[in-house]
Structure 1
Amino acid sequence: MPHIAMPPELAPGTPGLFQYRPETGRPLGELAEVLLRNPHSLSRGERELIAAYVSVLNDCTFCSSTHSEVSAAQMEGGRTLVDKVINDLDSAPVPPKLKALLAIAGATQRGGHEVTEAMVDTARQAGATDTEIHDTVLIAAAFCMFNRYCDGLAAIVPSDPAAYAGMAQMIINDGYRMCATGH
């Protein structure tokens, strides 16, 4: 049960919170759109994987389930690959650059000072650009906020895993701006 009175017609999870207070929801939806969907050297699936990975570390069921599905639908290797990354990053079959960026995301999740120069050097040596490093840290930091927003207000979370696949398709087709408006 949410900690605040939420109209029943609002979407579950973070999108419902965005809709509850559109003055804050619109810019948050825009931030997610820019970070996860705008043109970028990292694919949408890779950026969604960063969001999912941080959300798993934060134990946010809604965000980890949703972004795992969005990532899986957009990455070669699908759900199997996403699960391998989430369960054991060190042995996951992802390119060294993505593995280094995910390590930076995990460090960011623990605290900004946890990101070390050695981690950044490893990412650069694997081919990461400064923009990719910047955006990885920002995605991780933003998802710490989104996760705490969702769980801190005890947003309604679907218990049926199939619901997340449907939400993922909606995000892939319509983006995050629609999350804040409901259309």
Structure 2
Amino acid sequence: MPHITLNTSEPGIRGLFRFRPETALPLNALVEALLCGPGTLTRGERELIAAYVSGLNECRYCYSAHAAYAAAQLPEGMTLVEQVHDDVDSAPVSAKMRALLDVAGAVQRGGREVTEDLVTAARAEGATDVEIHDTVLIAAAFCMFNRYVDGLATVLPDDPDFYTDRAQRIAAHGYLGVLQQEVIRE
């Protein structure tokens, strides 16, 4: 049960967006830019970073959502997402992706945990400054989103179909497109 009285029964961050709709557009715009905007990392790879950080933070709603979104956009699907979640060091990802996930994990522990050695290692595997920047920002943003969702004890759907159904919509339309569709339906 949420810590505050929400004006909707929608789960997770969606219920919080309904409670304070003025936050929905800027927060969705940030996620759209980070996870769907132009970049050399695929949308699936960026979603994988979001899911990985959410898993480290033990935010079940955000992990479940972004794991489904990553799986919908990665050729290896949920199998890879779960392998990264269970043991990033042995997961079958590229050396560059592993180095970026190491950077994301450092951000999750604390911003100052991102060391020159981690950045140098990511660069050595071919990561660009933009990819390193975006990895840090995705990780930092998802730490905020995870704390927002869990800090207010939002409703958590247990049905995996809830997340996979939405994943198809996110993959097809992005975060702002889905937000716009939801507003129009009301």
TM-score by length of 1: 0.95
| Residue 12 of structure 1: aligned partner | 11
| Residue 121 of structure 2: aligned partner | 122
Report the Cα offset of residue 62 of structure 1.
Answer: 0.5
Report the Cα offset of residue 56 of structure 1.
Answer: 0.2
Write out the 4+ residue segments of structure 1 that deviate beyond 3 Å after TM superposition.
178-181
Q: Which amino acid aligns with 2:50?
A: A
13-22 vs 31-40, greater mean Cα deviation: 13-22
**Residues 1:91 and 2:90 are matched in the alignment:** yes
Deviations 1:139-163 (A, max 9, x none): 0000000000001111111011221
SS in 2 for 1:156: coil
| Residue 105 of structure 2: aligned partner | 106
Give the conservation status (yes or no) of the 8 Å contact 2:64–2:163: yes
| Residue 131 of structure 1: aligned partner | 130
Q: Which has the higher contact order (CA 8 A, sep 6+)?
A: 1
TM-score by length of 2: 0.93
Change (3 A) 1:32 1:102: same
Change (3 A) 1:8 1:18: closer
Identity, % of aligned positions: 58
Give the conservation status (yes or no) of the 8 Å contact 1:13–1:62: yes
Aligned-residue RMSD, C-alpha: 1.3
Report the Cα offset of residue 7 of structure 1.
Answer: 2.1
Deviations 1:21-47 (A, max 9, x none): 121221011000000001110000000
Give the conservation status (yes or no) of the 8 Å contact 1:66–1:168: yes
Structure 1, unaligned runs of 5 or more: none
Structure-2 separation of matches of 1:141 and 1:89: 19
| Residue 34 of structure 1: aligned partner | 33
| Residue 69 of structure 1: aligned partner | 68
Give the conservation status (yes or no) of the 8 Å contact 1:70–1:169: yes
Structure-2 separation of matches of 1:169 and 1:81: 18
| Residue 143 of structure 1: aligned partner | 142
Give the conservation status (yes or no) of the 8 Å contact 2:43–2:70: yes
Structure 2, unaligned runs of 5 or more: none
Give the conservation status (yes or no) of the 8 Å contact 2:169–2:178: no
Q: Which amino acid aligns with 2:156?
A: V
Report the Cα offset of residue 164 of structure 1.
Answer: 1.0
Q: Which amino acid aligns with 2:18?
A: Q
Structure-2 separation of matches of 1:8 and 1:129: 42
Give the conservation status (yes or no) of the 8 Å contact 1:2–1:155: yes
Q: Equivalences for 1:159-174 in 2 at 5 Å?
A: 159-174=158-173
SS in 1 for 2:40: coil
Q: Which amino acid aligns with 1:16?
A: G
